[in-house]
Structure 1
Amino acid sequence: MKVTVVIPTYKRYDYLERLLLSIERQTYKGFEVIVVDDCSPAQDEYQKVIEKFSNSFEKITYLSNEKNSGAPHSRNRGIRLARGEFIALVDDDDEWFETKLEKQLEVFEKGDQSLGLVYTWADVVDENKVKIGENRESVAGDGRRSIVDRCFVCSPSVMLRKSSLIEAGLFDEEFPSCQDWDMWTRILFNGNTCDVVKEPLVYYYKHGGETIGKSPRALVGFKKYYAKHFIKLIRYLKLRHLVRFARYLIMVKS
């Protein structure tokens, strides 16, 4: 099997159904889907959604964590069980365009074994699917300098070589945020290159209300990232991040 789609989910069975509809429409066929529910209360509703798509994919597996453990843990659980050579990660509240998997696999097939990560462009939309932004990054090849500057990979667009994920150590479950940035950084600093499909193939939803990016969890995630990759920030003279890290340390002491 070439591809495994791994989806962490929590209390959003309605969004999950919308996502699975977009995955069902993929032009590339013959992949498996693993849904990892982070101990949501609405188990009956989730089971109905999974049953609806029981014949839509090569295989669909639904797992539920025994306790709420966070998205990194759910992703890791799905990755470890994946049979595919490539892992496509997506959150439950986003959507794919129908040619996403097909076009990413074409890029992998043209590359060599050092190609560990392929992402796509994305359209950022609100809850009514009105476009409010876009991701048009074009970093390819050696992405090390760029990744310590910013998280240029739009998470719901990413496809990775499973061996690259395993060798880099999977997601750090201690990160309350910035875990994606940390994961891509470790992959690209572990001898892997990246590439991009320069076409929007993902709807990345921005919801109203509280988000991680506006919460104290974001601050903790940034501090953990800077501490973990401090030497890289110095090596590439990422002064903006070094100054921000210094400010975070002062905030902790005050």
Structure 2
Amino acid sequence: MKLSIVIVTHNRLEELCELLETIAGQSVKANEIVIVNDAGESVETVKALYNELPITILNLKENVKHVRARNEGVKQASGDVIMLFDDDDLMTPGHIERMLKALESSDFAYSDAEIVSFQDKNKTRYPVSRKLFAYTFDIEEMRKFSTYVPSGSVYKRSIHEKIGAFDPEMHNYWDWDFFLRVSKEGFTIKRVPTASVIYAFSDNGDNQSAELHGARENYLKALCEKHQLGDLPTKNFAVLLEEPAVKKRESASERVWDGEPVKSRLVDGQ
């Protein structure tokens, strides 16, 4: 299998370098890393900082937002296996090896995660809170609340040949939509019960998962209409995690992160 990691970034150079630091430390290496710069500040410096990594940078002239940018990255990628990653998330040691192993008996695999809030100190993020995000895989329950974290997930590129690209019309819910489309077409999905992805979450409303009102409600309505999900509640993400129906889905998972901040070469070189 030839693995391409697709990362979309926009003005997050420090976070991007932390992610690349965790990729550089993997036991199994990616064949290609496609960084899609969605019309943000230059990220060319990362190629020199991480020159052992097979990095290709795709600079978009216009800010097309994260879904379309991700589609451009997948088009650019040459691997038969795609791994997705947000630029502010991290992978723990052994993640790539573990996920490729899972893909030997599936078409699509995703791992558990830890939801982490960070505080910046001297251009390095330090964790201030962490919560296990691990839930049983049940497709009917996934139609009520998605527990799929796209960062770190892997899938066979051939899936796109049948279901098409990520849907920009779903915006905040592109990943949930993608998961449901994959499932509907009968592809084999596997959940890996290891919290090997560090999912950065802000309580201050500056990332998508913390948004609530306005356009986000419209995107949820569009998702529900597309997949006949009925009327799903629009609540704060943290509130939804405490709902009894979601709490019942909580599952055991191996926690592998040591909790230490990632010091990137960008910071080391300053």
- TM bucket, shorter chain: 0.7 to 0.9
Counterparts of residues 45-194 of structure 1 (less than 5 Å): 46-54=43-51, 56-57=52-53, 59-109=54-104, 111=105, 115-127=106-118, 128-139=126-137, 144-194=139-189
Question: How far apart are residue 51 of structure 1 and its match?
Answer: 2.3
The number of residues matched between the two structures is 224
Judge conservation of contact 1:5–1:89 (CA < 8 Å) in 2. Answer: yes
Q: Which residue of 2 aligns with 1:238?
A: none
Judge conservation of contact 2:103–2:155 (CA < 8 Å) in 1. Answer: no
Q: Residue 50 of structure 1 aligns to which amino acid in structure 2?
A: K
Tell me the alpha carbon deviations over residues 93-124 of structure 1, each in whole angstroms, 9 at most, x when there is no partner. 00001211101111122x1xxx3210111111
Q: Distance in 1 between matches of 2:189 and 2:175?
A: 15
Q: Which residue of 2 aligns with 1:214?
A: 212
Question: How far apart are residue 85 of structure 1 and its match?
Answer: 1.5
2:195 alignment partner, SS class: strand
5+ unaligned residues in a row in structure 2: which ranges? 119-125, 235-270
5+ unaligned residues in a row in structure 1: which ranges? 234-240, 246-254
Q: Which residue of 1 aligns with 2:4?
A: 4
Q: Distance in 2 between matches of 1:78 and 1:179?
A: 15
Tell me the alpha carbon deviations over residues 168-194 of structure 1, each in whole angstroms, 9 at most, x when there is no partner. 112111223111101111111111121
Q: Residue 97 of structure 1 aligns to which amino acid in structure 2?
A: T
Q: Which residue of 1 aligns with 2:227?
A: 229
Q: Residue 215 of structure 2 aligns to which amino acid in structure 1?
A: R
Q: Which has the higher helix share?
A: 1
Judge conservation of contact 1:72–1:179 (CA < 8 Å) in 2. Answer: yes
Percent identical: 25
Q: Distance in 2 between matches of 1:119 and 1:101?
A: 11
Change (3 A) 1:243 1:177: closer
Change (3 A) 1:223 1:243: closer
Q: Residue 199 of structure 1 aligns to which amino acid in structure 2?
A: T
Tell me the alpha carbon deviations over residues 133-188 of structure 1, each in whole angstroms, 9 at most, x when there is no partner. 2211231xxx5423212212112131111111332112111223111101111111
Q: Distance in 2 between matches of 1:221 and 1:18?
A: 31
Counterparts of residues 194-205 of structure 1 (less than 5 Å): 194-205=189-200
When the two chains are superposed, the root-mean-square deviation of aligned CA atoms in Å is: 1.8
Q: Distance in 2 between matches of 1:215 and 1:36?
A: 28
Judge conservation of contact 2:224–2:232 (CA < 8 Å) in 1. Answer: no
Q: Distance in 2 between matches of 1:243 and 1:88?
A: 29
Q: Which residue of 1 aligns with 2:254?
A: none
Judge conservation of contact 2:35–2:73 (CA < 8 Å) in 1. Answer: yes
